[in-house]
Amino acid sequence: MQDKTAAAVPYFEAAQKAVPQNAIAAGELGVALASASRFVEAEQQLRRALELDPKFTDARYNLASAKAANRDWEAAARDFRQVLAERPEDPKARQHLGEVLFTWGDELANSGHKEQAALRYRDALVYRAADAELHASLRMVLARLGRAGEARSELIAALRINPNLAPAKKALEQLR
């Protein structure tokens, strides 16, 4: 499907040139460009679609996805939150926002920004409360920050969700 969408770029470009004031044409071109891994151009077209129609929520969702593919976590999270403000029960937006926040937290943790990582993980829990790996990642960061009580609570939460999660089991053994 992605290859077909990417192959359609010339057709969407022609449609967008034919009706340059059409938000849908700009948005569809943006999706096709993103499918072709041309994220900078995709973002430009999706922003154009939103300039033409600020309430074009699908374009905002696709823009957030393109930003996430470019590892622009903060902008992606902001756009996914705006999608959820417009469509609060959108399951894909909720899922992707949770993924963005979790991945952003991982990146922060790996670069030594533990406090910021903990904040992103906590934000992600709003959308992924039943994710044992997320609880385990938060536990690890909290433990490194010296917040043992909070870390233990996250460990317990991770093991309640998945009693076989290897990192959590290992951490529990170390506590004993």
Q: What are the structural domains, with CATH classification, of the chain? A: 1-88 (1.25.40.10), 90-176 (1.25.40.10)
Instruction: Write out pLDDT tens, residues 94-139.
Output: 999 999 999 999 999 999 999 999 999 999 999 999 999 999 999 9
Residue 68 tokens, joined: 């996430």
Query: Per residue in 38-53, pLDDT tens?
Result: 989 999 999 999 999 9
Virtual torsion, Cα 127, 137, 171, 176, nearest 10 deg: -60
pTM equals 0.88
Q: DSSP letters of 151-174?
A: HHHHHHHHHHH-TT-HHHHHHHHH
pLDDT band for position 24 (cuts 50, 70, 90): very high
DSSP 8-state assignment for residue 115: H
Average pLDDT, the chain: 91
User: In Å, what is the CA distance from 63 to each residue of 10, 76, 78, 158, 169?
Assistant: 20, 8, 11, 32, 39
Q: Please choose, from the candidates 152, 105, 158, the residue with its C-alpha nearest in 3D space to the C-alpha of residue 133.
A: 158
